[in-house]
């Protein structure tokens, strides 16, 4: 089944609810979901679905609004359990009015952090940034500009385990829904990656898997490439190999300097990461093995 859309809007109205699901493909899923929503006196405002024929898995995202007043979302979740069991659904239902609680990890490069904080502050991202944590103190002043708490947790080979323990404690205490690695130049342990599975997004400074390591844009410049990019993906124990959510690209030419290429690359990073964060927090991303289904 191809992707279809009843309607599309740049941002989800806070009166809306979003249901996403995946399950083995079979007839009757769309009808059952639509009937359930109608039976709860709600109106569908956007519906997207995709059938992965190769894998036999069906994916769906439905955005709906109550015809009268608001919903008791916990009650609706309980009612939906029967439908979920009948079709063996993996599903999630969110209230668009509830902002996801986000923790941003960063090192010394502040462009992605600044972009996310600006978008959150302006309402372009419907998120609540609870804190910024860094292994360097440099960007504390930037977090202060947006009145976001900043915490410096140094990381060395000898203190890495303790630093990650502090990070996990902060995630639990702040009730974090999503961790964003906004150019956090530390490799997370396999154990931490597993604990954050599906709720941590990283930005990689190239079109994976090209130009890994130090000074990627200089490598691209030296190779004379014509397109540079950035990749936003979920964090997994396999370094830089998590399911890709978004990639951004820019054409370059021989007349550009290495500094110009670097700046364009950083613009790509901001764009790809902000899109990935937005789509994740709007319940638009579903995992399909090592791939993602993204209902933009």
Distances (CA, A) of 135 to 110, 139, 184: 13, 10, 8
Question: How far is 164 from 43, CA to CA, in rounded Å?
Answer: 44
**Contact criterion met (CB below 8 Å) for 63 and 47:** yes
Identify the sign of the CA torsion 240, 241, 244, 248: positive
Report the b/e string of 152-170 with b at 16+ CB within 10 A.
Answer: ebebeeeebeebbeebeeb
Tell me which residues are annotated as active site: 240
Cβ neighbours around 79 below 10 Å, total: 13
How is residue 215 annotated by DSSP?
A: -
Instruction: Supply 178's token pair.
Output: 């999503």
Tell me the backbone φ, ψ of residue 78, rounded to 5 degrees: -65, -40
């Amino acid at each position: 089944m191809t992707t279809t859309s009843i309607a599309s809007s740049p941002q989800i109205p806070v009166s809306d609810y979003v249901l996403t699901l995946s399950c083995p493909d079979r007839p009757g899923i769309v009808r059952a979901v639509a009937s359930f929503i109608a039976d709860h006196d709600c109106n569908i405002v956007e519906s997207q679905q995709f059938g992965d024929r190769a894998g036999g898995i069906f994916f769906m995202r439905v955005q709906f609004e109550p015809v009268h007043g608001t919903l008791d979302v916990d009650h609706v979740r309980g009612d939906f359990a029967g439908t979920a069991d009948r079709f063996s659904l993996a599903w999630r239902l969110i209230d668009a009015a509830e902002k996801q609680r986000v923790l941003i990890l960063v090192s010394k490069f502040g462009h992605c952090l600044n972009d996310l904080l600006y978008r959150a502050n302006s309402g372009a991202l419907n998120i609540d940034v609870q804190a910024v944590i860094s292994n360097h103190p440099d960007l504390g002043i930037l977090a202060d500009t947006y009145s976001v708490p900043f915490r410096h947790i140094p990381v060395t080979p000898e203190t890495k385990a303790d630093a990650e323990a502090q990070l996990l404690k902060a995630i639990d205490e702040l009730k974090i829904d999503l961790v964003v690695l906004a150019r956090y130049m530390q490799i997370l342990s396999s154990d931490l990656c597993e604990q954050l599975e599906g709720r941590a997004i990283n930005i990689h400074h190239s079109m994976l898997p090209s130009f890994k390591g130090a000074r990627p844009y200089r490598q691209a410049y030296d190779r004379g490439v014509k397109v540079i990019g950035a990749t936003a993906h979920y964090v997994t124990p396999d370094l830089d190999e998590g399911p890709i959510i978004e990639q951004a690209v820019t054409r370059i030419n021989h007349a550009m300097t290495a500094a110009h290429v670097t700046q364009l690359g950083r613009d790509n990073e901001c764009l790809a990461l902000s899109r990935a964060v937005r789509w994740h927090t709007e319940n638009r991303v579903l995992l399909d093995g090592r791939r993602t289904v993204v209902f933009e």
